[in-house]
Amino acid sequence: MISETKLWKINKPLLRNHILLKDRFLNNRNLDLEYLIKNWNNIEIEHIFPRKLEEYSLNFKELKDYGFKQNNCSCSYDYNKCRLGNYLFLEKEYNDKASNQMPDFKNNSYKDSNLINEKELFRFENFSKDEIDKREKELIQPYLEMYENI
């Protein structure tokens, strides 16, 4: 059986985009898929938790409040910000608008997107590390099942 780690290390950017696109197909999000294909040059990868923490920002919240380990929070954060569950597709204009804010302050950017999946993701508040874990498992599970005999 192929492990999640091995699957993920094969070709991270290519695999990430493939999995995010395949999720649209598997979950009957054909309108999203069509929109993504037609507008691919305007689509970027959004980090739900930002790549760079802007501690001076008024939107900054303690990392432990988002579920990151209290011991060595920054290390836990650095690892989790690069996980599949922390990625989504977003139009460039909305990705620029979301910038390096924490998740609770990105709702308007996601709400304005034409991508249904991104709108659904932020109908709730308090996105946390647990949500990264949950999203990653949901995205990877079909691949683990497909390749379980490898």
CB-CB contact of 115 with 89 (8 Å)? yes
pTM: 0.77
Question: Residue 43: CB partners within 8 Å, gap ≥ 6?
Answer: 36, 89, 90, 91, 92
* 80-128 tens-digit pLDDT: 888 888 988 899 999 998 888 888 788 778 888 888 777 776 665 678 8
| Mean pLDDT, residues 61-83 taken together | 75
Distance from C-alpha of 76 to C-alpha of 53, rounded to nearest angstrom: 13
SS3 content of the chain, % helix, strand, coil (to 5): 60, 5, 35
Helix, strand or coil, per DSSP, at residue 68: coil
Distance from C-alpha of 89 to C-alpha of 141, rounded to nearest angstrom: 19
Question: Residue 56: CB partners within 8 Å, gap ≥ 6?
Answer: none
| Mean pLDDT, residues 40-60 taken together | 74
Total domains, the chain: 1
Range of the domain at 11: 4-146
